[in-house]
Amino acid sequence: MGLRANNENDTAAADERGTAGRRWRTLQLGCAAVLLATALTGGAVAVGAGRAPAAAPAASRAVDPGLLGTGNLDASIASLQAHLRTQPKDAGSWATLALAYVEQARTKGDPSRYPQADQALRRSLALAPDSDQALAGRAALAAARHDFAGALTYADRALRQNPYSERALCSRIDALVELGRYDEAARAADTADARRPGVPVFTRYAYVHELRGDVPSARRVLQQALSFATSPGDIAYVATQLGQLAWNQGEYGTALAEYARALAADETYLPALEGRARAQAASGDRAAAITGMESVVSRYPLPAPLVELGELYEARGAAGDLARARQQYALVDTWVALARANGVDADLDTALAAADHGDKAAALRAARAEWARRHTVHTADALAWALHVNGRDTEALSYARQATATGYRNAVFLYHRGVIELATGDRAAGRAVLASALKLNPGFSPVGAAAARTALEAAK
């Protein structure tokens, strides 16, 4: 009876994944048609139609740069699959294949790869139950699905088998960061640095510093990581992190230089292309930003670049731009449906996008659900803003203050807090925080930065 019920549940889940996948492909084709009408090249449209993000949030910090420097990931997967057809008891290759699927899901923004990764890891662990490689793969998959408690459990299990597993050490830092356990994450970074210093550990170490507001240390560690980087993938990865750090501080020229360095190493590296478009927009070159972000979204249609492109259209305000913007926001909803159908917790993505561009009640439900799972600066900010757009500013204020309490320098968080401070009647605090947001990063958002300036002017 239990086995039959499980089979029925599996069939239902497969049907749900198939339905979401069909919706995703249909909407991608619709988006491609709109982009074609705005003079996006035919080649880019073809890629967008056939290839469905990240990190990162996000996720991007959890990316393993080693896989990025190995060449053609699709070809590597095909080679592994061929090998495993002849050597099906090779536990290590099953684990490697699983990690390649996780990376493929990230680079193509296609969560349907996650069930394939899960199946490969099950095969690996059935053959070698104590394999630190497979357990670390479990941690990576759990993190990719935003199950950070699970990622921490698997990372700890892997480290009991192999205390020097670089992948497990890094996944442990990632999980603690994403659970909001920043002091423990700092200690985990110290341990990882002592055991396996190198690019993957250095980039995480830098992020822990950044979350605490220590930008000079974060930059120093990233520069050290860059000096260790030798492969094109590693160079592109670290230079992009340096670009993002500079962009967060409003240092657009430095950010563009770092993105240029990343793209000199790998001209197709999508996080660098995305970051460059954001920096171009913040610098006032909206035309280049839109062209660049259209290219990114055609290959990498994750929520963050989709929302960014939609807001760029809104800010431009040309004929048809509002419809174009709405198309991007609709794609976010479809990506969320596909992600959930493939085991990804997409509540934070929902809360962030829906608060400004969708169902505000749904944004609040999602933000509350995410906050119940983990208390990070990002979830605090998302919950604060979702409460604000639903008219609950008194409740929102404590979360907005928590989001800025660690010293993390993020203009979006400051903008949200400033608006909420004003809404609760504290005009002095609201003006001060809004001014700080615009001083830190005056081009932090195509729509939000203009709204911040308007709110600041109105509060005088």
163 and 191 in contact (C-beta within 8 Å)? no
Q: Calculate the CA 410 to chain-centre distance.
A: 16
Residue 169 has a pLDDT of 97
Secondary structure string (H, E, C) spanning the chain: CHHHHHHHHHHHHHHHHHHHHHHHHHHHHHHHHHHHHCCCCHHHHHHHHHCCCCCECEHHHHCCHHHHCCCCHHHHHHHHHHHHHHCCCCHHHHHHHHHHHHHHHHHHCCCCHHHHHHHHHHHHHHHCCCCHHHHHHHHHHHHHCCCHHHHHHHHHHHHHHCCCCHHHHHHHHHHHHHCCCHHHHHHHHHHHHHHCCCHHHHHHHHHHHHHCCCHHHHHHHHHHHHHHCCCHHHHHHHHHHHHHHHHHCCCHHHHHHHHHHHHHHCCCCHHHHHHHHHHHHHCCCHHHHHHHHHHHHHHCCCHHHHHHHHHHHHHHCCCCHHHHHHHHHHHHHHHHHHHHHCCCCCHHHHHHHHHHHCCHHHHHHHHHHHHHHCCCHHHHHHHHHHHHHCCCHHHHHHHHHHHCCCCCCCHHHHHHHHHHHHHCCCHHHHHHHHHHHHHHCCCCCCCHHHHHHHHHHHCC
Whether 313 has a pLDDT exceeding 70, the answer reads yes
The predicted-structure confidence for 326-375, as pLDDT tens digits, reads as follows 999 999 999 999 889 989 999 999 999 999 999 999 999 999 999 999 99
The predicted-structure confidence for 236-248, as pLDDT tens digits, reads as follows 999 999 999 999 9
Residue 215 has a pLDDT of 97
Q: How confident is the model at residue 112 (pLDDT cuts 50, 70, 90)?
A: confident
* C-alpha–C-alpha distance, residues 173 and 188, integer Å: 6
Whole-model pTM: value is 0.83
The predicted-structure confidence for 65-87, as pLDDT tens digits, reads as follows 444 344 578 888 999 999 999 99
% pLDDT > 70, the chain = 85
Mean pLDDT is lowest, of 1-10, 121-130, 382-391, for 1-10
Mean pLDDT of the chain: 86
Query: Taking Cα atoms as reference points, which of 376, 282, 328 lies closest to residue 59?
Result: 376
* C-alpha–C-alpha distance, residues 383 and 400, integer Å: 8
Mean pLDDT is lowest, of 9-18, 117-126, 346-355, 373-382, for 9-18
Q: Give the mean model confidence (pLDDT) for residues 306-313.
A: 97
Residue 110 has a pLDDT of 81
Which residue did the predictor score with more confidence, 402 or 62?
402
Residue 72 has a pLDDT of 77
Which residue did the predictor score with more confidence, 289 or 301?
289
Q: How confident is the model at residue 59 (pLDDT cuts 50, 70, 90)?
A: very low
Residue 358 has a pLDDT of 94
Whether 31 has a pLDDT exceeding 90, the answer reads no
Residue 460 has a pLDDT of 84
Which residue did the predictor score with more confidence, 74 or 420?
420
Whether 51 has a pLDDT exceeding 50, the answer reads no
* C-alpha–C-alpha distance, residues 352 and 355, integer Å: 6
Residue 108 has a pLDDT of 76
